[in-house]
Amino acid sequence: MILVTGATGKVGRHVAAQLVAAGTPVRALVRDPGTAVLPEGVEARRGDLTDPASLAAALEGGVDAVFLMWPLSGPGGAAEVVATLAAHARRIVYLSARGVPELPDDAEPPQDILGNHAALERLVRRSGATWTLLRPGGFAGNTLEWAPQVRAGGPVRTAYPQAARTLVHEADIATLAVRALLTDDLASAAPELTGPELLTQAEQIALIGEVLDRPLDVEKLSRPQAREDLLAAGLPPAYADAILDAHAAMETDPETVADGIEALLGRPPLTYRQWVADHADDFR
């Protein structure tokens, strides 16, 4: 039995679906089993990572491994959650991020997105469970933020149209997660995963237009305007600033394709064009 957290999200739903396809029993931790939309064959159990005591029902009856994603903006409460999971499951696969700093054991992680992941990684490594830390680059799914503008016919607004990224299809992250959950191939490993190509945001928007068979214009936003949009979407100010800083840096120092992706996946990684085709209805 595999417990999947975030099973209704961008990556977790792919993990759950691929585990079911592999013939593995899957249990999803959800806040409301009555409303959660899950892949067919997934068992829903009520629980919340903000309430470690609520995890008991999801872990009862034997759980062999856990796919863990941390949905909160800080590591508060994570120590108890990880300890609870490790007390019941022999394996934890944590969804981290590319670029997490390698810190000395006694160093305090920075209070930002990557520092949050560093704190969780430390807890998972020290949990006593067999661990894997997945470190994907930017999710292709994050470009769904443009969907309302695309559906309206454009233009698509961005502060850094020349920011170049190697966006990864969430199904590829799930493929690596399933391998880590079901085998020892990635035990005690922290593999990086990206897409196979480098595309600027302007190129990503143009590619969406190509798949939809209609041109899309790009409108450059000022940084203050972009920051307001991120804050309106619910991001904490520190996270909004970190995202904009990273995008600004990617205009002159673009991301790179991670080494060995094809060997990790056992096949070529999926392209951004494939991701757009998979999500074309979201943009129509």
CB atoms within 10 A of CB 269: 22
- pTM equals 0.93
Pairing of strands 2-5, 156-158: unpaired
Beta-carbon contacts of residue 257 (< 8 Å; ≥ 6 apart): 166, 194, 195, 196, 197, 198
Question: What is residue 102's predicted lDDT score, i.e. its pLDDT?
Answer: 84
- Percentage of residues of the chain with pLDDT beyond 70: 100
- pLDDT tens-digit readout, 169-223: 999 999 999 999 999 999 999 999 999 999 999 999 999 999 999 999 999 999 9
Residues 232 and 239: beta-carbon distance below 8 Å: no
Contact indicator for 272, 265 with CB cutoff of 8 Å = no
Residue ranges of domains in the chain, CATH in brackets: 2-136 (3.40.50.720), 138-169+195-257+267-284 (3.40.50.720)
CB 95 within 8 A of CB 11: yes
pLDDT tens figures, 79-88: 999 999 999 9
